[in-house]
Amino acid sequence: MLSATEISSALKQSLADGEAMCIVSLMEMDGRPSPQTARLLVKEGGALIGGSLGDRSLDEIAASHAVALMKDERQEIVVARPSELGELPASLENGLEAEEIKGRVGDARLLFEISRPVSELIICGGGHVGQAIAKVAALLDFKITVIDDRTEFSSREKFPDPNVRLITDDFVEALRSLKITRASHVVIVTRGHKHDEICLREVVEKPARYIGMIGSRRRATTIREHLRREGVAAEHLRRVHSPIGLDIGAMTPEEIALAILAEIVLAWRGGSGAPKGADGPMTRAR
């Protein structure tokens, strides 16, 4: 049985790694309360960190459902039987078939408690666009870090919000000092294409959920070719959003910030990016 210390340690490590984690607890079996609190710890990729619910088949089923629940950002605490959460796997690693599994563990009642890391936004560049992005991102509860190698553009005068972390340093050194995880979003909006390319080179192979770089298509193509010749794989380059942001005709720094954050939310939550009313009932009025 997992101790509170073991669970706490696993949670801290998962959050530090920028990954969600689910604690699955066995509440009832065959209509009777579980005599002891059996728990299973599952990371968002499906890895079992520790513990057991007392049955290997139940562990595998619980882990499968935990992964599915962690993908749904709306889910935090769920109490349900495996049969209420959707189809069971056709077969599991131990070779048991679905019907046999249902007979063995179908009446288990489980508690799923999901812990997620705080979403982080790293802004490379403290100019007008970077300042506007920080303001909009604060409304979305991002943990914000701003990097600029110029003191005047990484100051409280430009970023008065005390919750915004400011780093005045060489871009490469600053980025290397940060732990970029799957909960990280990197926006590159420096004062010139040279610094943009330097920043992108440093983060392009990191596991950030979103990487975006400002600039024209021509400039993005030039930087892409530079990185490709340096050996950066196409799979990493395809993840980069450049030109950055959704096409909303943005012109001012605030409008550009809105377009960028909209694209980040799109990458995070999913969706089409199309206007919701494009094929709605109002468009069919006659």
Q: What are the boundaries of each domain within the chain?
A: 4-115, 120-269
pLDDT at 268: 86
83 Cβ contact partners less than 8 Å away, ≥ 6 residues apart: 102, 106
pLDDT at 278: 83
Statement: 120-269 belongs to CATH 1.10.287.3610: no
pLDDT at 93: 47
* pTM for this model (two decimals): 0.82
3-state secondary structure of 27: strand
pLDDT at 89: 52
pLDDT at 34: 74
pLDDT at 273: 87
pLDDT at 36: 75
Which residue stretches of the chain have pLDDT < 70?
85-106
pLDDT at 224: 96
Q: Report phi then psi at 15, rounded to 5.
A: -65, -40
pLDDT at 16: 87
